[in-house]
Chain A
Amino acid sequence: GENVEQHPSTLSVQEGDSAVIKCTYSDSASNYFPWYKQELGKGPQLIIDIRSNVGEKKDQRIAVTLNKTAKHFSLHITETQPEDSAVYFCAAHSGGKLIFGQGTELSVKP
């Protein structure tokens, strides 16, 4: 089955800097890759997603890149703000279900 690896597990940046989180997946048949932000005690919220027929997608300060050949995808957050602090999860859609990475705890220091 699908296996998703996510790095780093924790990331601390200064406000205004960029943050990059990387994920790899194992199932070449996976075709949908969402990224979720989870705040403490709440359910995950979708922040951006990408499908396998696209290499890059951007939404304001957030962008995602996908390399199908290498089977990895990355989340890029620019001009980080303290409110970006949360746990971020990547996921891959495989066999009708979402498989999540281990999560990255992002801390943005003012």
Chain B
Amino acid sequence: GAVVSQHPSWVICKSGTSVKIECRSLDFQATTMFWYRQFPKQSLMLMATSNEGSKATYEQGVEKDKFLINHASLTLSTLTVTSAHPEDSSFYICSAIKEMNTEAFFGQGTRLTVV
């Protein structure tokens, strides 16, 4: 099956710094990638939809200036959490699809802790 790799798997950063998370589709070209945020014992909340070469579409309530998304190629999307604060601590997960209405392949997630 298709593989999506997310890096890093965990990161600890200081308040006020920025953190970049990478999401790569290893063996397929992803037309669209998605970024989710998951708090403990809660569901996955969609943050934004990312298409290669165009601006990401953010869900209501998600600050686009704080969560910068770049989809530079058909195999790579990055999420940068800018000026991180403790309340940004969460589990961030990406997914990628080959075509619309097809299976979404998920990365292993990134545990972000802001201290």
Which residues of A are in contact with B by a Cβ distance under 8 Å?
31-32, 34, 36, 41-46, 49, 89, 93, 96-103, 105
Contacts and interface: CB of A to CB of B under 8 A. Distances in A.
Contacts of B95: 43, 98
A49 B101 CA distance: 11
Given A100-B43, A103-B42, A103-B43, A43 B108 contact: yes
B6 interface: yes
Contacts of A32: 101-102
Contact of A45 (B41, B42, B45, B106): B106
Contacts of A49: 103
Contact of B44 (A34, A96, A100): A100
A35 to B, nearest CB: 11
Among B44, B46, B93, find the residue whose CB has the most chain A CB atoms closer than 10 A. Answer: B44
A44 B43 contact: no
A43 B34 contact: no
B21 to A, nearest CB: 13
Given A97-B46, A103-B42, A43 B111 contact: no
A92 B60 CA distance: 18
Contacts of B43: 89, 100-103
A34 B109 contact: no
A36 B104 CA distance: 10
A100 B44 CA distance: 6
